[in-house]
Chain A
Amino acid sequence: MPKITFALPDGKERTCSANEGLSLMEVALQNALPGIIAECNGSAACATCHVIVEDALAAMLDPISEHENDMLEFTAAARQPGSRLSCQIRVDDRLDGAIVRIPAEA
């Protein structure tokens, strides 16, 4: 089972085992991580599951869809180069060992 480390808004880290096939957002909710609200529960409609991934991971993931790209303009914390909606990232073994940052709200 891939292990993913979330860097939390308060600077702490949490490493979570993640079931393949779930979205990163669902993993964050299962572990009650602060900063992932996920109002729309994975429909990419609310921009409240914003995370920032490192360049290497960003390059590996499926590209950002036009819709996700639009939504990323409306995150509470300002968009950054590695910004993604965690509901749009599926967990697979490529994410094992990844570090994903949950930004503090602006």
Chain B
Amino acid sequence: MAGTFAFKAGSTAVPMISDVAFAELLNDPYPTFKRARDMAPIVRIEAAKIMVATRYDDIVAMERDPETFSSENPQSLVNKVMGHTMMRKDGEAHQRERRAIDPSLRPGAVKSCWGPKLEAVFEDIVARFERDGEADLFQALAAPMAGRALAEVLGFQDVDWQTMAFWSQSLIDGAGNYSGDPEISRKAVEAARGVEDAIDRALPYHRANPNTSVLSSMIHAEDPHEIDQIYANIKVAVGGGLNEPRDSILTLILGLLQNPDQLERVKANPNLWPVAFEEAVRWTSPIGMYPRRVTRDIVFSGVQLRAGDQVGLCVGAANRDGSRFEDPDRFDVFREKKSHLAFGAGAHFCAGTWVSRHMVGRLVVPRLFERLPNLRLKDPDAVRIQGWVFRGPVTLPVVWGA
């Protein structure tokens, strides 16, 4: 294979994939993921300038050993853009902050508080376009739903979804700005300041009125957040809490519209909606990769890693690991039920899991199919899915009605 180092049995060097362009990785990373998975436990993808783990069992093993595969990384751009967030802490330091926000996000809070609130948001959003007969569900539904839901759950009462979307994208771009592009840096700083201002405006209300929101939980916890922790952790929630519900709404709709036989069976048995949601995030995981830092020299799965190495845990690849999932590239609600890694694994298991399972899998997508009869793709060739670190449909034109 041109430009690829062969991986010899018994070798401990990390092989490389150097003949894949970055644009290819963005458009469709799965052929590259499959090559990497077949090649070695850890492979360097030159276009992305990072070593990645792509096998299911390896990623689970790494996430069970946070002392060797640490979330801490003082050099991380995330820390520069957002501050020292809980996403980049391990052990007790992480646990303390995670415990403070959990009451806002656990299933009980979803049922009693977020369920009804998000339902009202959904109704308002759908009422704005349901008579149009056609829409791009990215702009019409998924982006506003994800942005407004995140503002609600965090406790921002005066921030519109467009601002949430701008902050989120700017913070993500800033955290990935390895080339130091000044315009990207400027936007990230502007977004970070915007989030801090919004927090400062919101805190007096939450101090006086304890409630279910994340901001309220942070300040009323037994072990409350300091202001810098609030700033950092709200920024990471803004950066990391918007794309995923947005993209998984669209991915679930797309998977079902491309497989009408499955859609009919799910509609006939609504108990299958949560299963369909899990299959959607396995099939096209909204977060495809996240990094860990190696803390000591170690031979992992036969590969020599050095202290200080960065390894990307490619859960998007692991969720299509053919040794675990049969015919893994296929969207199949009825496949054998097995756990996947779309929400990560280990101590950093997605804090928003239960809100998203409810919002996407029980509320937004099932209701949409009820509300818009005969919903179908406007042009199957116009669908575009993009990204490898974050991945989802970037446009989803649909029509409905007769």
Contact = CB atoms under 8 A, between A and B. Distances in A.
B343 A41 contact: no
Contacts of B109: 70
Interface in A51-88: 66-67, 69-71, 73-74
Q: Determine the interface band of chain B, counting residues with CB < 8 A from chain A.
A: 20 to 34
Contacts of A29: 64
A71 B107 contact: yes
Contacts of A41: 63-64, 345-347, 349
Q: Determine the interface band of chain A, counting residues with CB < 8 A from chain B.
A: 10 to 19
Contacts of B229: none
B161 interface: no
Interface in B334-372: 337, 339, 343, 345-347, 349, 351, 353-354
Contacts of B63: 41
A46 B106 contact: no
B93 to A, nearest CB: 14
A20 to B, nearest CB: 20
Contacts of B95: 43
Contacts, number: 45
B349 A105 contact: no
B339 A48 contact: yes
B220 interface: no
Given A73-B107, A74-B107, A43 B339 contact: no
Contacts of A16: none
A37 B339 contact: yes
A40 interface: yes
A45 interface: yes
Nearest to B103: A67
Given A45-B353, A48-B339, A39 B345 contact: yes
B106 A39 contact: no
A105 B337 contact: yes
Interface of A: 29, 37, 39-43, 45-46, 48, 66-67, 69-71, 73-74, 105
Interface of B: 63-64, 95, 98, 102-103, 106-109, 337, 339, 343, 345-347, 349, 351, 353-354
14 contacts: A29-B64, A39-B345, A40-B345, A41-B347, A41-B349, A42-B347, A43-B346, A43-B347, A43-B349, A45-B102, A46-B349, A48-B339, A70-B108, A71-B106
